[in-house]
Amino acid sequence: MIIDELIKKIDEMGNPSVIGLDTAPDYLPNYEKVRDDAKALAESTIEFNARIIDKIKDIVPAVKVQIVYYEACGLLGMTVFSETMKFAKESGMIVIADAKRNDIGATAKQYAHAFTNGDFNRDFLTVNGYLGSDGIKPFLGKEDKGIFALVKTSNPSGGELQDLRLENGLTVYEQMAKLVSGWGADCIGASGYSNVGAVVGATYPSQAKDLRKLMPHTFFLVPGYGAQGGGADGAVAGFDENGKGGIVNSSRGIICAYKQEKYKGMSFADAAYAASVDMREDLVGALKRK
């Protein structure tokens, strides 16, 4: 099971973090030089991502590649998205494509195909379960592929729908948690966790704690740490009693670390490495306190 592979890598590296390669053009140090040349911009982005991957691959188990930061640059951007995922995979990292896909059954089947073959192949894909089971089932059934379904998102307005309480006593996100847990029941690996994971934001630690009880076999992808304001203690709130069960994402905090006072004078890749080490220590510290 792919979830077991991810957990094994996290254990080996002692690092439950994933770096988000959300490489917006203006994150590139040479942006001003290449901004008006689409091809040079694409090449610079591939190189930027590749140099960061090269630097962190031995201490960070996974990358999350957010598709739209590439889609926003059109067809050339999609090439960079594809190349980045391929390079990360070849470098031995676990690859999460962050695309939050969702559709009816027949169409979800196409999405599953798109992300299981060829140019957009990945290990995990983020999905949105608003359409229910028939939109999710096409993603299941392959031991080497997993999904993370949105449950409780990290953004301020996530609660507008997700926090509302249903007549059955559950909130909408808890109900979603039950659905997600059910979808993953048939693909639980030796680790005790399922290939069907959940997105649970670092910015809502008490909800994350409750969700851990509600979905004991569901691995959490935790966005919202760092730039979005979530601290390490909040980020690991949904981890289990053994300090496992989740992986915390940071994007801008790592790939734009070179812009921070703290990492001043370092190259972008060195700064990303240093920030990754700092993040690991931060999370490990929080897990010890937990």
User: Token pair for residue 261?
Assistant: 């006072």
Q: Is 264 a catalytic residue?
A: no
Residue 141 as a binder of a second copy (CB under 8 A): the answer is no
Label residues 60-87 b or e (16+ Cβ within 10 Å = b): bbbbbbbbebbeebeeebbbbbbbbbeb
Q: Which stretch binds a second copy (CB under 8 A): 48-56, 139-147, 169-177, 206-214?
A: 169-177
Residue 157 as a binder of a second copy (CB under 8 A): the answer is yes
Q: Which is nearer to a second copy, 59 or 179 (CB)?
A: 179
Q: Which is nearer to a second copy, 91 or 128 (CB)?
A: 128
Please report, as a single letter, which amino acid is at residue 195.
N
Query: For residues 69-128, which are near a second copy according to CB under 8 A?
Result: 69, 71-75, 78-79, 82, 100-105, 107, 110-111, 113-114, 117-120, 128
Q: Which is nearer to a second copy, 155 or 206 (CB)?
A: 155
**Residue 224 zone, left/alpha/beta (φ > 0; ψ -120 to 50; rest):** left
Query: How many other CB atoms sit within 10 Å of the CB of residue 288?
Result: 9
By CB under 8 A, name the one of 14, 30, 37, 130 that touches a second copy.
Answer: 130
Q: Which is nearer to a second copy, 47 or 119 (CB)?
A: 119
Residue 78's alpha-carbon distances to 62, 68, 84, 98, 120, in angstroms, are: 20, 9, 10, 13, 9
Q: Is residue 48 classed as helix, strand or coil in its secondary structure?
A: helix
Residue 259's alpha-carbon distances to 23, 61, 176, 225, in angstroms, are: 14, 24, 38, 18
Q: Is residue 214 classed as helix, strand or coil in its secondary structure?
A: helix
Q: Which stretch binds a second copy (CB under 8 A): 52-60, 67-75, 205-213, 254-262?
A: 67-75
Residue 158 as a binder of a second copy (CB under 8 A): the answer is yes
Judged by the rule CB under 8 A, the positions of this chain that interact with a second copy are 22, 24, 66, 68-69, 71-75, 78-79, 82, 100-105, 107, 110-111, 113-114, 117-120, 128-135, 150, 153-162, 164-168, 172, 175-176, 179, 223, 228
**Residues annotated catalytic, as ranges:** 100
